[in-house]
Amino acid sequence: MKLLFATKSLDVAGGGAERVLTIVASELAARGHDVSVVTFDAPGGASFYPLDERIRRIALGIGKTDQPSGLADFARRIRALRRAVRAERPDAVVGFMHSMFVPLSFATVGLDVPRVASEHTVPEYYRGRGGEFTLFMLGCVLSTRVTVLSPAVRDMYPRFLRRRMVPVPNPVPAPSAARPIARGGATRTILAVGRLGPEKDHATLIDAFASIANRFPDWALRIVGDGTLRGELERRVAARGLAGRVALPGATARIGDEYARADLFAVPSRYESFGLATAEALAAGLPVLGFADCPGTNELLEHNCNGWLVDTAAGVDRSAAFATGLAALIGDAALRARLAGEAAASVERFSPDRVTARWETLLREVIGHCTAPNGRL
């Protein structure tokens, strides 16, 4: 198959969706498919995450990829995408995230090419973003198929959209570094990984750690990622007197090393579409702590089996509940070891090989339907 993947940017430090694209596209290229990737990045850049050398990069260089686009850039991007699709003549195009599949769906109207929109969030994201949700729905309606990350996520959407949606989970690669990596001193590390945005709720994690930090002086917190809330979180760390105990090093392409250095993984998110970082932590053999009411997290973790889930009971705030969970795991090395022992096997079903096979099946289906006489989806 000749496939054209598309996403807003690969050159800037991205989140889970960009990493997933590079994994899936690289696996498909390794299987012999002709794969290219189009972005709005400036020409001559390099992908933040590793990308198979057989994949062609098409950098359109329109607008600033780290900022929302205005109407003028949006229109220019639609025209440029249409030219790119016509020039490539792919068997199918795949747009990752609504920031790309919305303009891509408009750009390919009238072109004889099947379109797959790959959504990587949940409806909760669009709360208070009515304009974005309207564009998202239009992008879905104009697409041949829409991938979401689980059946549970699909069921959150309106019925007329669910008919187009196909659950395809994120691939979870095997750890790139064996645990543990030798480190100096006796400090143990609580790790969190994710974009520094409100839905990840790192503020709760910082407050929870602050409430128990004096009880466990040999533990530190490391929050890997970047985003709009960096300044606010740094000020929170300083206000809690945690300088030297909490690190916010930014995003990294060598995320495997972070898991290998950690002793405990914490996911304080309010919601997740899949929980890629959580699944990667499990694959790396880490004990994981999360909230029982968090979609995505509660689909990956089974309490007291491969992870530990805390409830926010009536009258107990999120930080207090999370602090209780942190203290339970930090204070019980045998419990951490038992949870870690079940972790990796629980995510084997998300191996890149298995997930790529699902992508192949989906892409062959949409291509076959669209090329068959009177084909309908």
CA distance 68 to 65: 7
% of the chain residues with pLDDT over 90:
79
What is the spatial distance between Cα 234 and Cα 256, in angstroms, rounded to a whole number? Answer: 24
pLDDT bucket at 182, cuts 50 / 70 / 90:
very low
- Residue range 5-46, pLDDT digits in tens: 999 999 987 678 899 999 999 999 999 999 999 999 999 999
Arithmetic mean of pLDDT, 149-158: 92
Could you give phi then psi for residue 200, rounded to 5 degrees?
Answer: -80, -20
pLDDT over threshold 80, residue 241: yes
pLDDT band at 373 (very low <50, low <70, confident <90, very high): very low
pLDDT of residue 91: 97
pLDDT, the chain, mean? 91
pLDDT confidence band for 377 (50 / 70 / 90): very low
Residue 339's SS3 state is helix
Query: Which pLDDT band holds residue 71 (cuts at 50, 70, 90)?
Result: confident
Cis omega (within 30 of 0) for bond into 167: no
Distance CA 246, CA 206 (A): 8
The pLDDT of residue 222 is above 50? yes
Do residues 163 and 15 touch, judged by C-beta distance below 8 A? no
Q: Structural domains in the chain?
A: 2-171+351-371 (3.40.50.2000), 188-350 (3.40.50.2000)
How large a percentage of the chain has pLDDT more than 70?
94
